[in-house]
Amino acid sequence: MTTETQAQTLSDGVDLLIDALKLNGITNLYGLPGIPITDLTRRAQAAGMRMISFRHEQNAGNAAAIAGFMTQKPGICLTVSAPGFLNGLTALANATTNCFPMILVSGSSEREVVDLQQGDYEEMDQLAIARPLCKAAFRVLHAEDIGVGVARAIRAAVSGRPGGVYLDLPAKVFAQSMDAEAGRKSLIKVVDPAPRQIPAPDAVQRALKLLAGAKRPLIVLGKGAAYAQADTEIRTLIEKTQIPYLPMSMAKGLLPDTHEQSAAAARSFVLPEADVVMLIGARLNWLLSHGKGKTWGGKDAKAWGGQKFIQIDISPQEADSNVPIDAPVIGDIGSCVSALLDGIGAAGSGWPQPSADWLGAISERKSKNVAKMAETLAKNPTPMNFHSALNVMRDIIKANPEAMLVNEGANALDFTRSIVDMYKPRKRIDVGTWGVMGIGMGFAVAAAVESGQPVIAIEGDSAFGFSGMEVETICRYKLPVCVVVFNNNGVYKGTDVNPSGGPDVAPTVFVKGARYDKLMEAFGGVGVHATTPAELRKAVEEAVRSRQPTLINAVIDETAGTESGRITSLNPKSAKK
């Protein structure tokens, strides 16, 4: 055989990886090239995949993670060894914490040299380091095992509680070749990667009994409910039972925030007052004050408020993690909600509705709070504050409900969450369970790539800095992303002073009057400096209409906001002043 014909009948590790991913319906890759994956990125593009190259792996990893959340397919992040791998690891850990399915695929150096610690190029025992930070970690040592490695990684990422998976590919594997036909047969098309998990009938009955006896029921929707894509079932359950509901941040829009059963504007009233709370894809972690304490009507921080809980979740270990769960319903949300609906349907018109007193009290609180907020939003102070700027953003999202909204910062996050209504499921993506800064531009890129819709990113100026260099990526791929930087000159606010009186500014203060808009202009995008709500409105409307990469430097009063936004109380308090 000539070399040429030999080459035609062989597949190498790169071919096998690309074919394995394509066979499983994966079309987009996020990553950053270098040894040993440069050829992989190039050949993936040649093979018709969309390869989005970033400026830092953390942003590529965040993009992959949110692509996983949006599509229920694992997002793929490709990195080089040791430093590239480590840069991707924060995103992998964050994905696991948030239950987003992603696979971090990293090249690594030679096992023999790494294990003897002989000092290879970018030497690091990556598998061992990744393992505690993800759901599962695999290493493939032979090209013929790539099919199995990819299949196991996909199943681990999306089945049960979704999460991050690490797939380690030593450089040698990319170059290994095998007979093309045998290679093709070694690949696995994963059948039913996230099997439905049907809840036990007695668990459903127990939940229904508790719900039927409730006087002041409440439903809490979490991002698991958004991820599950059981939108119709969830809406039917809420509307049939007439139970008021609270959406967690990324569950906003699952039902339109303007829905009359939304109790979001009466949150601090409904949590302590509810007698039975049904959690759907939401954990009772710090974001829900661990289900106890004053938020829930307990007499002190540790005390349980006396509510009964129903928890719908795919993880059997989640219940009782903070307070007793009276009725765990374990299964996928679609199946669990359908089973509940069957039970409610069987009761016919006999299914009890929440008491009129309860609904009336909520509605009264809501009207009062909405009126108060409307008053605040109508003010037009100079310089702009968070409210007057967000009044504009609120109108724009209302007019463009298909747009994706990315959101990070402290005050910029908290005010946006409470002021900007969402109208469609899975449109709001943000700092999630950790409140991590740095998701902004990675999420924005993936949101544009995966949805094809305009993306609006509302960013604190500190938050933006963590991933700001990706504005080049946004320009390079001509993505319809409009970044709005709420510039108040620092972390939280720009008004701190150096207590020592020395020449350095305070740790939370940035360069005053910085022009983030120039950053976008440097790469050919549109930069706008906005100092009034009218200027902001015009610029965002134009960005959404034109789909041009745009960055608006929105100047916000540097005295506005509070330290850490709404979670000031989590700052450690010492008796020492």
DSSP-based three-state secondary structure for 341? helix
In the list 103, 250, 325, 446, the residue contacting ligand ADP (rule: CB under 6 A) is 250
The contact pattern for ligand ADP, residues 380-409, with x = CB under 6 A and - = no contact, is: ------------------------------
In the list 47, 129, 287, 361, the residue contacting ligand ADP (rule: CB under 6 A) is 287
**Residue matched to tokens 């990667």:** 193
Structure tokens at 250: 């990324």
Going by their DSSP bridges, the two strands 276-280 and 217-221 should be labelled as: parallel
143/93 Cα distance (integer angstroms): 27
List CB contacts of 135: < 8 A, sequence separation 6 or more. 96, 156, 157, 161, 163, 164, 165
Report what 531 binds from ligand TPW, ligand ADP, none; CB cut-off 5-8 Å by kind: none
The contact pattern for ligand ADP, residues 161-190, with x = CB under 6 A and - = no contact, is: xx----------------------------
Is the distance from CB of 321 to CB of 291 less than 8 angstroms?
no
For the bound state, the minimum distance from the C-beta of residue 563 to ligand TPW, rounded and expressed in Å, comes to 8
DSSP count for the chain of H helices, then E strands: 23, 19
Of 438 and 468, which CB lies nearer to ligand TPW in the complex structure?
Answer: 438
Report what 74 binds from ligand TPW, ligand ADP, none; CB cut-off 5-8 Å by kind: none
Of 234 and 536, which CB lies nearer to ligand ADP in the complex structure?
Answer: 234
Report what 241 binds from ligand ADP, ligand TPW, none; CB cut-off 5-8 Å by kind: none
The closest residue (CB) to ligand TPW is 460
451/466 Cα distance (integer angstroms): 24
461/465 Cα distance (integer angstroms): 6
Report what 488 binds from ligand ADP, ligand TPW, none; CB cut-off 5-8 Å by kind: ligand TPW
Q: Which stretch binds ligand ADP (CB under 6 A): 133-141, 313-321, 466-474, 547-555?
A: 313-321
Of 60 and 246, which CB lies nearer to ligand ADP in the complex structure?
Answer: 246
Report what 228 binds from ligand TPW, ligand ADP, none; CB cut-off 5-8 Å by kind: ligand ADP
> Which is nearest to 120 in space by CA: 128, 132, 110, 105?
110
Q: Which stretch binds ligand ADP (CB under 6 A): 184-192, 257-265, 282-290, 406-414?
A: 282-290
56/444 Cα distance (integer angstroms): 14
Structure tokens at 203: 């668990």
131/31 Cα distance (integer angstroms): 20
Of 293 and 435, which CB lies nearer to ligand TPW in the complex structure?
Answer: 435
Query: Contact positions toward ligand TPW, by CB under 6 A?
Result: 409-412, 435-438, 460-463, 486, 488, 491-492, 561, 565
In the list 71, 338, 433, 467, the residue contacting ligand ADP (rule: CB under 6 A) is 433
Is the distance from CB of 92 to CB of 130 less than 8 angstroms?
yes
Torsion of CA 442, 444, 449, 451, to 10 degrees: 140
Of 549 and 565, which CB lies nearer to ligand TPW in the complex structure?
Answer: 565
Is the distance from CB of 482 to CB of 546 less than 8 angstroms?
no
In the list 333, 520, 526, 536, the residue contacting ligand ADP (rule: CB under 6 A) is 333
DSSP letters, 3-33, are HHHHHHTEEEHHHHHHHHHHHTT--EEEE--
Binding site for ligand ADP (CB under 6 A): 98-99, 161-162, 222-224, 227-228, 248, 250-251, 281-283, 285, 287, 313-315, 318, 332-333, 433
